[in-house]
Chains A and B, each alone.
Chain A
Amino acid sequence: MSAVRLDADEVRARVNTVPDPELPMISLADLGVIRAVQPADDGALEVVITPTYLGCPAMPAIEAGIRAVLTESGHPDARVRQVLAPAWTTDWITDEGRRKLSEHGIVPPGPAGAPLPVRIGLGAPCPHCGSVATRPQSHFGATRCQAVLVCTSCQETFAHLKAM
């Protein structure tokens, strides 16, 4: 079965909707890891992605998710290429991505340029009760990109995507 070979714009629209494997409520485009979907010099389609963290174990799954879309779009010869520069930053997470994270109880990151205690979640409002009387419980959470905070008002813990 050969799929219809879609053009670059159509493929880009499809690749953009691939969900992140660890934060499946947001897409790879919302996360800001898709840098480009374009024809390379040899005519093959190339998807350029930026790794979030160098050790992020989700990168192979992200690549596999993109490859599946490329094959379905009639581009089994397309490539996925990782570039390190410019380095990925949480500032690239879209407003839509931030909204979806919030909806799922994960407090989105503040500005990447903020002082480290703020990046780790100082003053982040509790997604359960809205109180800002929260404090970091652990700088490292269920995934590399998250921290665990605890609300001193309602005593619940919650996840926060660290600014990077």
Chain B
Amino acid sequence: MTAEPTAEDTDLAEYVLRLGDDALVLCQRLCALVTRAPTIEEDLALANIALDLLGHARTLLAYSGTLDGTGRGEDELAYHRTERQFRSALLMELVPGDFAVTIARQLVYAHYSRLLWSALEKSSDATLAAFGARASREVEYHQMHADQWTVRLGRGTAESRRRMQAGLDLVWPYAAELFERDALVDRLDAAGTAVAPARLREEWEREVAAVLDEARLTLPKPAWQATGGRDGLHTEAFAPLFAEFRSVRLQYPGGTW
């Protein structure tokens, strides 16, 4: 089982790893909020959304491990890489200091992921196409959740509106990284296996602008853009998140239940 992967499989493994790492890191962020959400219904909502993201991460990481020729399973990829080997966008690791930050991030990611998974339904790669068909339907619920909270907070009290706008302003510089293009995604996009996220940006902007308009909030115009996550360059928020994520695994190596 040490067959050399083709150049395209190597590309695809990296692309799939990026998407899987996004889902995994965001899942961990959402899980940490359970019991800290404003209501018990919201605890359940965030846990359920995190559960979907965990399912996406598991599917994508396992697939990446088969494509790259190493045969690494989902657990090995999740727990036994270094920080520099994680390909998640910096948006995912951002510390959610306020519930509004969580909602702003969910707004960004839910619309992006729904557009991406829908577009991947047409991938020439059968596994990604099947994943896209399933996942795109799941994240419709995540999008509705984010949209409704954004509107509720934006049109709520002066305080909720102020905090929601602050959340958007904090998160927005991190959105651009999701749509970055590089030689790898361009190659896969040309081959029809993957979707260059840059192609989704206009539609994404239209959708989130419509939600912010309904919420009477202002679309941020950030003066800078975060980058580096796809190369494994993370912020200082990543290490504590990753340490907590791996803590049980390190305390009980090889443990099962």
A137, B56: Cβ atoms closer than 8 Å: no
A87, B133: Cβ atoms closer than 8 Å: yes
Identify which of residues 40-91 in chain B touch chain A, using a CB-to-CB cut-off of 8 Å: 41, 44-45, 47-49, 51-56, 58-59
Which residues on the B side are within 8 Å of A51 (C-beta)? 55, 134
Question: What's the nearest-Cβ distance from chain A to residue B91, in Å?
Answer: 20
A85, B137: Cβ atoms closer than 8 Å: no
B201 at the interface (CB under 8 A from A): no
A137–B45 CA distance with the chains assembled, in angstroms: 11
A141 at the interface (CB under 8 A from B): yes
Chain B residue nearest in CB terms to A54? B55
A141–B140 CA distance with the chains assembled, in angstroms: 16
A125–B144 CA distance with the chains assembled, in angstroms: 22
A87, B140: Cβ atoms closer than 8 Å: no
A138, B45: Cβ atoms closer than 8 Å: yes
A143–B47 CA distance with the chains assembled, in angstroms: 10
B52, A144: Cβ atoms closer than 8 Å: yes
Chain A residue nearest in CB terms to B55? A55
Q: CB-defined interface of A92-131 with B at 8 Å, one 1/0 digit per residue?
A: 0000000000000000000000001000100000000000
A86, B133: Cβ atoms closer than 8 Å: yes
Chain B residue nearest in CB terms to A145? B48
A75 at the interface (CB under 8 A from B): no
Given A139-B45, A140-B44, A144-B48, A84 contacting B131 (CB threshold 8 A):
yes
Which residues on the B side are within 8 Å of A139 (C-beta)? 45, 141, 144-145
Interface size bracket, B side: 20 to 34
Which residues on the A side are within 8 Å of B126 (C-beta)? 85
B16 at the interface (CB under 8 A from A): no
A67 at the interface (CB under 8 A from B): no
Q: Interface size (A, Cβ < 8 Å)?
A: 24
Q: CB-defined interface of A54-96 with B at 8 Å, one 1/0 digit per residue?
A: 1111000000000000000000000000011111100000000
A54, B138: Cβ atoms closer than 8 Å: yes
Given A53-B55, A54-B134, A137 contacting B129 (CB threshold 8 A):
no
Q: CB-defined interface of A1-34 with B at 8 Å, one 1/0 digit per residue?
A: 0000000000000000000000000000000000
B44, A138: Cβ atoms closer than 8 Å: yes
A88–B58 CA distance with the chains assembled, in angstroms: 18
Question: What's the nearest-Cβ distance from chain A to residue B142, in Å?
Answer: 10
A54, B58: Cβ atoms closer than 8 Å: yes
Which residues on the A side are within 8 Å of B55 (C-beta)? 51, 53-56
A160 at the interface (CB under 8 A from B): no
Given A84-B134, A120-B144, A54 contacting B52 (CB threshold 8 A):
yes
Selected from B41, B56, B58, B138, the residue in CB contact (under 8 A) with A138 is: B41
B135, A54: Cβ atoms closer than 8 Å: yes
B130, A55: Cβ atoms closer than 8 Å: no
B135, A116: Cβ atoms closer than 8 Å: no
B48, A87: Cβ atoms closer than 8 Å: no
A57–B133 CA distance with the chains assembled, in angstroms: 20
Which residues on the B side are within 8 Å of A87 (C-beta)? 130, 133-134, 137
Chain A residue nearest in CB terms to B41? A138
Q: Would you list the 4 A-B pairs with minimal beta carbon distance, nearest first? A: A55-B55, A54-B55, A85-B130, A84-B130
Provide a sorted-by-A list of 25 A–B residue pairs whose CB atoms are within 8 angstroms. A53-B52, A53-B55, A54-B134, A55-B55, A56-B55, A57-B51, A84-B130, A84-B134, A85-B126, A85-B130, A85-B133, A86-B133, A87-B130, A87-B133, A88-B134, A116-B144, A120-B141, A137-B41, A139-B144, A139-B145, A140-B48, A140-B141, A140-B145, A141-B44, A142-B44
A contact residues vs B (CB 8 Å cutoff): 51, 53-57, 83-88, 116, 120, 137-142, 144, 148, 162, 164
